[in-house]
A = this chain, B = another copy of it.
Amino acid sequence: QKYHNLHSSKSNSILSSTSLDNKPKAAMATLSSLRIQPIFCFIVLLLLPLPPCSADPDPLQDFCVADLKASLSVNGFPCKPASEVTSDDFFFDGLGKEGNTSNIFGATVTGGNVLAFPGLNTLGISMNRVDLAPGGINPPHSHPRSTESGVVIKGKLLVGFVTTGNVFYSKIITAGQMFVIPRGLVHFQQNVGEGKALTFTAFNSHLPGAVVLPLTLFASTPSIPNDVLTKAFQVEDDVINGIKSKFGS
């Protein structure tokens, strides 16, 4: 049940998204046990700049390939000079490789968003590859401002989401079947088949972002105070501490 995320490239392996926010290095330095290491890698990925979005503003030119290293930061990304744009800017190789699912969730999300594929900048769309080992889950999460749709390519998935009225809609689907998750709602995918599962998902944002609930609630830096979590989930401190420890916090 170890968690080893071997993907070294930020563009190739993230759990639905990482974030523009920051890289709290001090916090990371405290992560050292073996059990923690995998989640450490996991967190590193999630700390990369991958903001949530959806219903992106419309483009104002044919394209604006992102200049991810521009000195100035704006809403979205500045554009690479058009004279330097080539056909390669509109194609991306990163979704072809099966993700490593040897981690606590038994799943890996490989992102095809603007951070990995700068040609998507301003175009309001992105796609992810989700690999799941048998029993693996893409844990409950939400995309702050993006609808998600997906097509199962291989395997058998339980896909479900919960509305703001707390109704849980779900179904088990297989290859060729499509699903949709309304914007901002909590959802998950679980591999309920016997073999590996693969699905490609699409988002109406160039950077869908992800609020991965176990990590948001129990692995933030700094931590959400136990007093808030015990009251929210009506449990004792030790339960909260137990969960936090699983995620290295």
Contact = CB atoms under 8 A, between A and B. Distances in A.
Contacts of A82: 20-22, 49, 73
Contacts of A182: 59, 62-63, 123, 144
A178 B47 contact: no
A32 interface: no
B224 A233 contact: no
Contact of A58 (B53, B175, B232): B53
A184 B93 contact: no
A235 B224 contact: no
A242 interface: yes
A62 B181 CA distance: 10
Contact of A185 (B62, B140, B158, B190): B62
Interface of A: 17-24, 43, 46-64, 67, 70, 72-76, 78-83, 85-97, 104-106, 112, 117, 119-120, 122-127, 129, 135, 137, 139-140, 142-145, 147-149, 151, 153, 158-171, 173, 175-186, 188, 190, 200, 202-207, 209-211, 213-225, 227-229, 231-235, 239, 242-243, 246-247
10 contacts: A22-B163, A53-B58, A60-B76, A73-B79, A127-B178, A137-B228, A140-B217, A166-B221, A184-B209, A233-B246
